[in-house]
Amino acid sequence: MSLTILHLYPKEMNLYGDHGNVLALKKRCEWRKIRTKVIEYEPGDPLPKDFDIIFGGGGQDSGQSKIEQDLLRIAPEMKARIEDGTPALLICGLYQLFGKYFETAEGKRINGANILPLATVAGPKRLIGNIKISTSSFGDVVGYENHSGLTKISKNANAFGTVVTGAGNNGEDLTEGIFYKNCIGTYLHGPILPKNPRVADFLITKALERKTGKKYTLDRLNDRIELRAHNVAATRPR
């Protein structure tokens, strides 16, 4: 069995160690004897036809501007894949740009792919610090947020989780991220997956189920170190 990870815009959108999420997916597959291939996709590249997991990280406003037109070009295929259940993890900048738009502090609107029901505007200050959220699917999830964007998700959309400590989507409504089909959008850096192995295994499981067309149960791993890191992060002050 093998899985292909599509890593969107790793040069422009890779702040705060987000590449570690790809490494975590690779290792958790390799430990289970699942072969992995990572395709790094940059603006202008031909979009591969065969991939099983989508990943995209965070970036500065300038990085978002650089990828805007290319993301709009591939948006129809990305939308089709998300709607078809391809698992995806989108962090910060690409979480924003898979929505309707991101409006900068200067009032410039960067058009998004309009795949996820959300929109973002830059706020007056950055929301920075350790964050813990409560989720119905994965229990407590921990990470680190650093964003000025204030994101509002549709009233009918499911948030990734509810803020326990931190700001989340906008610092007001206690929502954090979005959970749409098998796509998770979130502001949690860190990276998120090494300290939250249940989230990583969800993405791997859904990819295998989609590929094989049947239910799939992953072999259990010894997550002692990962869970220790999770517990330490969960007790850190804001």
User: Distance between CA atoms of 193 and 175, rounded to whole angstroms?
Assistant: 20
Set 7, 29, 147, 189: catalytic member: 189
- Write b or e for each residue in 211-236: b if 16 or more Cβ atoms lie within 10 A of its Cβ, otherwise e: eeeeeeeeeeeeeeebeebbeebeee
What does the DSSP 8-state code read for residue 189? B
Kindly state the DSSP code that residue 236 receives in the 8-state scheme: S
One of 7, 92, 183, 230 is an active-site residue; which one? Answer: 92
92 included as an active-site residue: yes
Which structure tokens are listed for 213?
A: 């067309």
Q: How far is CA 205 from the centre of its chain?
A: 16
For the chain, what is the total number of helices (H) and then of strands (E)? 6, 12
Q: Is the peptide bond before 43 cis (omega within 30 degrees of 0)?
A: no
Residue 189 annotated as catalytic: yes
Supply 153's token pair.
């998700």
Pairwise CA distance, residues 117 & 65, whole Å? 20
Q: Which residues are catalytically annotated?
A: 92, 189
